[in-house]
Structure formats: C-alpha cells, structure tokens
C-alpha cells in the first residue's frame, strides 16, 4: 500500500498511531486557499476531530519523492471543497503537503 493510501486510511479510521508514523517530525501542511500552515500535531488533532470527511479520493501520481491526490472534502460546517493535494516525501514519510481548494456551491 502506498504512503498516500496508508495516510488516507489512517485519517478515515482515525488511526493516530499510523498518522504519527507516516508524518515526518518536520511536517508542514500549507493550505494555499487560506494561507494557513499547520504542523504535524495540528493536522493529527484536526484529523481526529471528525471535521474531515473525504470522498471520491483519487491518487493521480505517486513515487518515492512526490504524490498527487484529488478528493472532495466535506467539513462539519457543511462546506464542501474539491481539494488537489501535493505530498512531498522524505525517508518514507510525508514531510510536506500543499493544497489548493475550490469551494463547491451548496445546493
């Protein structure tokens, strides 16, 4: 199973141990839509909060250095975004994740 698949599954089932294993200590999550940058523990806390509900996840590309994923994410406040994410790997872990998000209009 690829790094992105393992991390996605860990987020979906709220497996904190696997998230800790897969995220590098120097991990940074950059959200370009908002300009926010989160660190490892921030992201794990958010993932454990039930606020991230991913659907139609597609891994577009992955090798030992980089991975690209697209997903639709629904948040507890009802907002839905189409999210394109780029992962950077170091030593078999995710060291960086950058996203661009498009808000999907509410019906």
| pTM score of the predicted model | 0.89
Q: Which of 96, 101, 80, 104 is nearest to 7 (CA)?
A: 96
Q: Which of 73, 106, 87, 67 is nearest to 27 (CA)?
A: 87
Question: Can you list the domains of the chain with their CATH numbers?
Answer: 3-104 (3.10.450.50)
Mean pLDDT, rounded, for 33-48:
92
The CA–CA distances, whole Å, from 27 to 11, 102, 103 equal: 16, 24, 25
pLDDT at 6 over 80: yes
Chain segment 72-94, per-residue pLDDT in tens: 999 888 899 999 999 999 999 99
């Amino acid at each position: 199973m690829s790094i992105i698949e393992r991390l996605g599954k860990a987020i979906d089932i709220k497996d904190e141990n696997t998230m800790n294993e897969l995220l590098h200590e120097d991990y940074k999550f950059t959200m370009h839509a908002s300009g926010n940058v989160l660190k490892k523990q921030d992201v794990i806390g958010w993932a454990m909060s039930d606020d991230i509900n991913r659907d139609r996840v597609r891994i577009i590309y992955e090798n030992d250095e980089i991975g690209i994923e697209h997903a639709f994410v629904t948040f507890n406040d009802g907002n839905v975004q189409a999210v394109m994410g780029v992962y950077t790997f170091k030593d078999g872990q995710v060291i960086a994740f950058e996203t661009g998000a498009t808000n999907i209009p509410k019906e």
